[in-house]
Amino acid sequence: MQAYIYGEKRDLPAGFGEFFDKSCTAIVSIDMHQGHLADTPDCPCPAPRAREIVEPINRFHAAARSLGVPIIHVRSVLRKSGADDINGVPAAWRLVFPLYAGEIPNADEHAIEGTRWTEFVTEVDARDEIVETKKRLSPFYPTDLDFLLRNMGVRTVVFDGGFTDCCVLNAAFDASNRNYRVVVARDLVRGTNEEMEDAALKIMSLHTGVVVESGDLLDVWRDGIAAEAAE
């Protein structure tokens, strides 16, 4: 199996088998909802680069389901009262991200429960699980994702979605800190821009887990099934 080590695709040495054991793996897809992906002026927290991975993620998830790998969709959902964020203690991104991106129209509507902004853009199958109490950057805080993964017997998590340099990066560190094996699907994440995306992928490849192409990962899973059948 090959992985990207500080941006360079190389063969992995022995010792990485658990990263690619699909029997204890789940895919965690992060924040692929309208609040980031809507192609309208009122999108409250736009992630336009992530729109190009919607269909590739759908294809990856469909292939993974056919191999028996579970999918967990995580989305940010905030209370209508604003107590979780805008009228309580605001998330830091509300102050610092506009310093780079400029004013974000309709930002106060981001992830508010009951609005279109929490609707998934990627496909959700009846067999999939949903975690929807994400309030900040990490899908582990303050959600029950860790509880769900452990009850499912998951030891390896595969991340896709956005932002690479924000929620995916936070997810990778939080998962690694909880002793999960971390896999990041390099072609199925998108960041603030290419520079930040590249930096985040390099950081994750050095400190949290392996960064791979989703097609290579599917091939390894399929090869594992074929090897089992041949025994």
pLDDT tens readout for residues 69-80: 999 999 999 999
Burial 32-51 (b: 16+ CB within 10 A, else e): bbbbbbbeeeebbbbbebbb
Mean pLDDT value of segment 89-115: 95
Query: What structural domains does the chain harbor?
Result: 2-230 (3.40.50.850)
Distances (CA, A) of 99 to 48, 53, 58, 92, 96: 18, 26, 33, 12, 5
Percent of the chain's residues with pLDDT above 90: 96
The distance between the two most distant Cα atoms of the chain, rounded to a whole number of Å, is: 60
The number of residues making up the chain comes to 231
pLDDT value at residue 224: 81
Structure pTM? 0.96
Task: Report the pLDDT averaged over residues 172-187.
Answer: 98
* CB count in 10 Å sphere of residue 22: 20
Burial pattern 210-220, b for ≥16 Cβ within 10 A else e, equals bbbbbebbbeb
Rounded-to-integer distance, Cα 72 and Cα 56, Å: 16
pLDDT at 61: 98
Tokens representing 146? 């860790």
